[in-house]
Structure 1
Amino acid sequence: MNVRSYARIRGALRRGTLRRGTLRRGARRREGMTLVEIMIVVIIMALIATAVGVAVLPRLKQARIDSSRTDAQSVRGAAVMYVSENPGGDCPSVEDLTEGGYLDSSRRTTDAWDRDFLIECEGDDIIVISAGPATEMGTEDDIQ
């Protein structure tokens, strides 16, 4: 309490104009936060969370696509080794590659959306396809 406030209270006490409970009511208002203040804080926090979500979600999608592309390249490398060691055989599946030791079972053998890779052999060319974010084969977001 500063000197000015103290002088005002003292003068009011002398004049008899200080009402009982006036100080207590003012002090009670300063003890906690009002509902409006709490609502404002909650709204600000919600706006910040929304902004972070808008900034992060597209990057998360791109990270999944990049991860699936890298995993598909690993599966393709294993499939190329399988075909070179088994000429004239069928196009391998991910299961064939894992069982044959061409693909380490501890490595990821599915895409980022937990869908199996599709391996297609067209002549000497081997294509490994992930369904991508749509999780359906044959759409424009497939990853090769």
Structure 2
Amino acid sequence: MKLIENIKEAHLAATKRGQLANTRGMTLIEIMIVITIMASIMGVVGFYVVGALEEANIKEAKIQMGNLNQSLDMYYTRTDPHEYPESLQKLVDRNIMQEVPSDPWGEQYVYRRDSRNEFTLMSKGPDMTEGTEDDITPGGDGGES
């Protein structure tokens, strides 16, 4: 009986050693393939995340310009004769706004009083350069109010 148990233990030990000997790690090629697949996935995810952030910034700029439009209209109705301010800072001076916000890219909004009754309001957009196709207006129609 003891002999049979010793044979079973020896066989079990030999089998475990054999399994360990046959077990091998990943090759360099396999590791490189896994890294390449992971990098590709991260690239695709990153592309969509950056795109979503850009869309969120554009929406935020439009919301801020909508608020600026309302403040400008409030200024217009409070002046006699009715006129839009010469600069956005006048909204702060007249206690209509606490401060003039910057756009989501840290730039000042572009404001021009075209006449007493008209103005142009826009953000330079993601490239922070005025006059390019990524400029943002409150309604997408040139910023005329």
Question: Does TM, scored on the shorter chain, surpass 0.5?
Answer: yes
Distance verdict in 2 for CA 1:42–1:85, change over 3 Å:
same
Query: Which consecutive residues of structure 1, in runs of 5 or more, have no partner in the other structure?
Result: 1-5, 14-22
Give, in whole Å, the separation in 2 of the partners of 1:84 and 1:29. 86
**For structure 1, which segment, 67-76 or 81-90, has the greater mean C-alpha deviation from structure 2 after superposition?**
81-90
Shift of 1:59: 2.7
Residue 30 to residue 85, structure 1, CA distance change in 2 (3 Å): same
Runs of 4+ in 1 over 6 A off after TM superposition: none
Cα RMSD of the aligned pairs, angstroms, is 3.1
TM-score, normalised on structure 1? Answer: 0.67
| Distance of 2:21 and 2:28 partners within structure 1 | 14
Alignment gaps of 5+ in structure 2: 1-6, 138-145
Q: 1:101 aligns with which of 82, 95, 105?
A: 95
Q: CA deviation at 1:75?
A: 1.0
Rounded Cα–Cα distance in structure 2 between residues aligned with 1:101 and 1:28? 81
Residue 107 of structure 2 aligns with an amino acid whose one-letter code is R
Change (3 A) 1:36 1:118: same
Q: Percent identity, please.
A: 27
Partner of 1:53: 46
The secondary structure found in structure 2 opposite 1:142 is: coil
TM-score of the two chains, using structure 2 as the length reference: 0.66
| 8 Å contact from structure 2 (residues 87, 113) kept in 1 | no
